Amino acid sequence: MDLHKSLVERLVRLGIIRSEKVRRAAERVKRELFVPSKYRDMAYADTPLPIGEGQTISAPHIVFMMNELLDLEVGHLVLEVGAGSGYHAATVAEIVAPSEVPPHKWGTVIAVEINPTLATQARYNLKEAGYLGRVHVLNLDGSAGAPLRREVDRILVTAAAPDVPKPLFDLLREEGKMIIPVGSPGFWGQELLLVEKVNGRMVTTKVTDVAFVPLRGRYGWS
């Protein structure tokens, strides 16, 4: 039995994966290339796993639920705050820059990671998995945004923030979307929010309760 295939099929059956593009990306990216070798046999279990430095790669159902909510299109410029292993960024790159589309139409994922060891690891994993041209890893505090030349189409935050950081909202283009967990560290009391910019205003929708590691840095918890 192909564990990767059956995980994707289960998440489709459960209604977590709804669109063809999120499904295709889920099938394409090998999670086993992004987890530490000692956890490789658990790569296709629907569970978070340790990736070192006290951090975790999210459970697949969370990754694909966030990708559905982001409403990603080919060509989008996407900022991810919290690159971690690089896995989530790779699944986004498979949608905004799919391999069968010519590279001049590709979008880009800018994945920022505050921890230098994890940033190096993410870069290595993404290179091994074939995503280095489509995902750029920056080692910096992404809670305060990133040095980008233009506003971004989508923002994905994969660590729980005290509130929606203003510099991140400012980076978002009109009609842009951000997915961000907000709430205190620890396993209860965080909400996953869909944040949209409508006529310059912040429109927020609560999606579900979640448990993420804390966002650090200037607009984080420390």
Q: Which residues bind ligand SAH (CB under 6 A)?
A: 51, 55-58, 81-82, 84-85, 87-88, 112-115, 118, 141-143, 158-159, 213, 215-217, 220
CB of 51 to ligand SAH, least distance (A): 6
Q: Are 72 and 148 in contact (CB under 8 A)?
A: no
Q: Known catalytic residues?
A: 58
Helix, strand, coil in percent for the chain, rounding step 5 = 35, 25, 40
Residue 177 vs residues 5, 33, 171: alpha-carbon distances, Å: 29, 29, 11
Q: Which residue lies nearer to ligand SAH by CB, 77 or 126?
A: 126
CB of 9 to ligand SAH, least distance (A): 21
The 3-class secondary structure across 26-71, one letter per residue, is HHHCCHHHCCCHHHHHHCCCCCCEEEECCEEECCHHHHHHHHHHHC
CB of 95 to ligand SAH, least distance (A): 15
Residue 13 vs residues 30, 61, 207: alpha-carbon distances, Å: 20, 12, 20
Euclidean distance between CA atoms 125 and 131, whole angstroms: 9
CB of 218 to ligand SAH, least distance (A): 7
User: Can you state the angle between helices 87-96 and 60-70, rounded to 10 degrees?
Assistant: 30
